Structure 1
């Protein structure tokens, strides 16, 4: 059972509650990218007449034109259209993982009630990211693949694996010396005796800043100088752990960074905050910055892996998941995203390859 939960906009207009057609936001997104309402309508698989009707209806509902047309030069969003699109993107980025978690839980509960799934369920806890979202979408295409996917931070996911709350945990570890600095926290929950590691992607983390970087933010040290508002990730997330280690390595006091205590729960939510102007800078993956048209300052490459319980490794469901990771559908979904490398995607890797030859076991 595959359940998707989304939210709808409702506007009080002339004494009535009017639901905003979700296609309007799809059209605004496409028009922002393509600069043409006609091309946006084609991309959204609707007629130009219907698209134009939605724009006129949106103008009445929100009290201002959402697009402006230029003869021979296509169309672009007005200031009101840009604000509306930013708000939608920020809401989606902030709440999509929670909605996905709720949908997964509801699907599992309903399936249990209906006794529709009597076999083994593959339970996955994973740090949220575009690669994991793509894996979820690929697995959802398999009707006979019973999967429960829950988004949590890296440490929380590994903790759940250790406590047998899940069969697979998705986590990320920085390369090189930084990886050794954080390994002790990860290795409290996984070990070569009890788990095996599957490589998902190599990905790039760094600073997300507005397009053209108007404030000239080029390093973490710039954030401590003041005058900038930062947006952080939540505690127990691998990204927060990475950032804290980078700050410690560069002898930067986190309390000198305005906004350090303000947290979001996904890379996309951080990017949305920067894109909307609510923050001047955030820390996250290059692909999220790309999605929101932001500039990106590269800082650290890292490994993203799946840790699997030894006793579940040969199970048919686990092997099917690995087939998906090695398949064209999953990898094609990532090939055009910035900051992702797929050279080792789907390969089993040793603990030494991720945590270093001298890793310590706890």
Structure 2
């Protein structure tokens, strides 16, 4: 089946309308990775001369150099070069859920225009690395995947707006407040839970952990800047519960009110040096070559009406996430496990597993 992907692009223009080459971002990323202009230009697939001219052109545009070149020490990004690189990463990371949702809608329309249309499955789910794998493996169904907060997804399921809702809960120590919140939407006689994956949440810190952060108590230090997730996210709920257990007042955490909207956006924020530590999944930390301090394991769950288990689209969905290919794709994500993926259990059993 034909699929398209929505990829954002950056454009810089001066006051005269002259547009500069977006290839600079690829070159800056390669310099950051390799530390040498020769290796960076080779990695990007351009000549050394072209790379050198590109850096000089942009340096003239901004009025300051983007790369520092020292004999015997290679090439390093200047503060502006570093900010430009990570600014792009942050924008892309922040827009991931919206872009993926738009991609899903466009691919759905393409699929509908083709002959032999497959069954439609509407999924509203909290954004995550494993959930983002679904479109790649959904060859037997039309997958309409829309990213929402866990609570929004469950509310949509109850309104009949989607067929499956996805959200995540702690594997151990789920608070009564969380059980009450999710229990408001989940009806044991109506719904069934599809086990999906487990993932590891923790603190994302700079490479080699220069601030020597060991746990949540270090967030109270004056020399530590924190970046949080948005208020309606499951990760924010998890953090608040962990802080409560350790009797840490969120108001005393520098940066608690500063928010990003995805795990990768938090990681990009830390990678850019705008914070010393953030909260997120291990896969995000590894994506940006950062270190990770585990705090808790979570179980990601899908919920559907029990009658939906007999629908062709849901049957094919279950077959898909039970395949060895999907299991392997999940295992390649740092901190993720597909154990029990595809198992169908009752609501009470699923919530009890997390409240022990």
TM-score (ref. length: structure 2) = 0.84
Cα distance in 2 for residues equivalent to 1:120 and 1:351: 26
Check if 1:133 corresponds to 2:132: yes
Check if 1:192 corresponds to 2:188: yes
Q: Which runs of 4+ in 1 moved over 6 A?
A: 36-44, 109-112, 114-119
How much has 1:67 moved relative to structure 2? 7.7
Cα distance in 2 for residues equivalent to 1:53 and 1:326: 48
8 A Cα contact 2:27 2:51, kept in partner = no
Aligned pairs for 1:29-48 (under 5 A) are: 29-30=29-30, 32-33=32-33, 47-48=45-46
- The worse-fitting range, judged by mean Cα deviation, of 88-97 and 8-17 is 8-17
Q: Which of 190, 196, 206 does residue 210 from structure 1 map onto?
A: 206
Cα distance in 2 for residues equivalent to 1:204 and 1:66: 36
Q: Relative to structure 1, is the Cα distance of residues 117 and 40 closer, same or farther in structure 2, using a 3 angstrom cutoff?
A: farther
How much has 1:34 moved relative to structure 2? 5.1
* Cα deviation code 1:84-131 (max 9, x no counterpart): 32122111111121222234345557878x698977531111111111
- The worse-fitting range, judged by mean Cα deviation, of 264-273 and 349-358 is 349-358
Q: CA RMSD in A?
A: 3.2
In structure 2, the partner of 1:307 is 303
How much has 1:333 moved relative to structure 2? 3.1
Q: Which of 146, 154, 162 does residue 150 from structure 2 map onto?
A: 154
Q: Which of 33, 52, 61 does residue 58 from structure 2 map onto?
A: 61
Aligned pairs for 1:222-261 (under 5 A) are: 222-261=218-257
Give 3-state SS (helix, strand or coil) of 1:178's partner.
coil
In structure 2, the partner of 1:101 is 101
How much has 1:266 moved relative to structure 2? 0.9
* Cα deviation code 1:109-164 (max 9, x no counterpart): 7878x69897753111111111111223333xx2x631111111212211211221
Q: Relative to structure 1, is the Cα distance of residues 78 and 171 closer, same or farther in structure 2, using a 3 angstrom cutoff?
A: same
Give 3-state SS (helix, strand or coil) of 2:160's partner.
coil
Give 3-state SS (helix, strand or coil) of 1:272's partner.
helix
Aligned residues, how many? Answer: 350
Structure 2 unaligned residues grouped into runs of 5+: none
Give 3-state SS (helix, strand or coil) of 1:247's partner.
helix
Cα distance in 2 for residues equivalent to 1:133 and 1:69: 42
Q: Relative to structure 1, is the Cα distance of residues 321 and 294 closer, same or farther in structure 2, using a 3 angstrom cutoff?
A: same
In structure 2, the partner of 1:84 is 84
- The worse-fitting range, judged by mean Cα deviation, of 79-88 and 285-294 is 79-88
In structure 2, the partner of 1:274 is 270
Cα distance in 1 for residues equivalent to 2:168 and 2:114: 36
Cα distance in 2 for residues equivalent to 1:226 and 1:358: 34
Check if 1:18 corresponds to 2:19: yes
In structure 2, the partner of 1:123 is 122
Q: Relative to structure 1, is the Cα distance of residues 43 and 172 closer, same or farther in structure 2, using a 3 angstrom cutoff?
A: farther
Cα distance in 1 for residues equivalent to 2:320 and 2:59: 44
Q: Which of 335, 340, 350 does residue 339 from structure 1 map onto?
A: 335
* Cα deviation code 1:157-189 (max 9, x no counterpart): 112112211111111110122355522211211
